[in-house]
Amino acid sequence: MVTGMRTTAAETASTHQGIVPGYLLARLAGSSQFTRAAEAARQTLIRGRPEFRAALEFSIDQDGDLVADVRAAPTRTVYDAGGAEQLPGTRVRGEDDPVSADPAVNEAFDGLGDTHRMLREAFQRDSLDGAGAPLIATVHYGRKYDNAFWNGSQMVFGDGDGEVFTGFTGSVSVIGHELGHGVIQTSAGLVYQDQSGALNESIADVLGALTEQYVRGQTADEASWLIGDGIFTPAVQGRALRDMLHPGTAYDDDELGRDPQPADMAHYVRTVEDNGGVHINSGIPNRAFALAATTLGGYAWEGAGTAWYRALTGGLSKTAGFTEFAERTITAASGIGASVESAVREAWIAVGAIEDAAARTPR
């Protein structure tokens, strides 16, 4: 037993990040319109959130010789909790198993693979830890559980209540986001509190958006920049949980309220709720990324995405705030090209995370 170590509440929370923020569940819990969903939200809030594999690809070279290309591939295992809240549950699909009759199992399995492929091909990262970590997911967690989360070692999916939230396995951005927490955990380890926590959420959103865009082959201009598109039922007046390009506009519903995310530092929310506003204020760095990516055009992972990834994995402090991260992304962007550096710098100026030096220079 290890002694002499203390774990802070913020550090403990970092392994229980759910895609649906607590403030939205709390609002839903008091709904008089969505009675079934209200009960599901209350139960969700009460319950809380509780080996290397290589792919061999054979080809024939120009001399007619057989060539084996060893390429990193995911080691995926999906479990079924069967409505219970014990992890991981019953094993239902692995790498060499046939397609399941359960759509949620297959969606989770494919989403794990999509995220692994994006990390490998866009950033040359072998799985979440860069060393081929296995990817594990559990579906059908709890009864009408209104969330999906990363618990520090695996993905967990609830089925939603069916009235406000659908199942969470159908959204690639949700899966990429939650697995993104694993990338953050094994690289910078950003503390899940205040601005470093908001960066944690934002970078996970970036990785979720990039996964979806990579799978769909979308350029930055073609992308929706929505996180959780499709997880609301038609009964909700909303498009998604978050809109990275236009924070504060993802939903506006009589029962759920309006998306509270600010788009710039002038509207930064100071609160003790939500670990200091980690889900709320993540809209600011989210918008900086989306602005940089759309300014550059093309595939977002090639310019802004590479700058963000290098900043994350290049010695970022665990308590980094928006300004520190902005400066690191600008430095990383300078190594990619002048146009990338300019777009990244201007994006951070637009959201107010750094000052415009030119505007302060006396004429």
Give me the catalytic one of 116, 140, 279, 341: 279
Reply yes or no on whether 279 is catalytic.
Answer: yes
Backbone angles phi, psi at 258, to 5 degrees: -110, 145
Q: Are 87 and 151 in contact (CB under 8 A)?
A: yes
Which residues fall within 8 angstroms of residue 100, CB to CB, at 6 or more apart? 78, 92, 93, 106, 109
Helix (H) / strand (E) containing 55: strand 53-60
Say which of 107, 140, 177, 178 is annotated catalytic: 178
Per DSSP (E only), the strands in 130-240 are 135-139, 148-150, 155-157, 226-227
Cβ-count burial of 186 within 10 angstroms (0-12 exposed, 13-18 middle, 19+ buried)? middle
Whole-Å CA distances, 110 to 35, 147, 212, 278: 33, 19, 12, 28
Strand partners, 94: 77
Burial of 42 (0-12, 13-18, 19+ CB in 10 A): middle
Structure token pair of residue 332: 């990383």
Single out the residue of 93, 56, 61 nearest to residue 77, CA to CA. Answer: 93
Query: What angle is formed at CA 89 by the lines to CA 83 and CA 94, rounded to 5 degrees?
Result: 120
Question: In the Cβ-directed half-sphere of 285, how many Cα atoms lie within 13 Å?
Answer: 31
- Residues serving a catalytic function are 178, 279
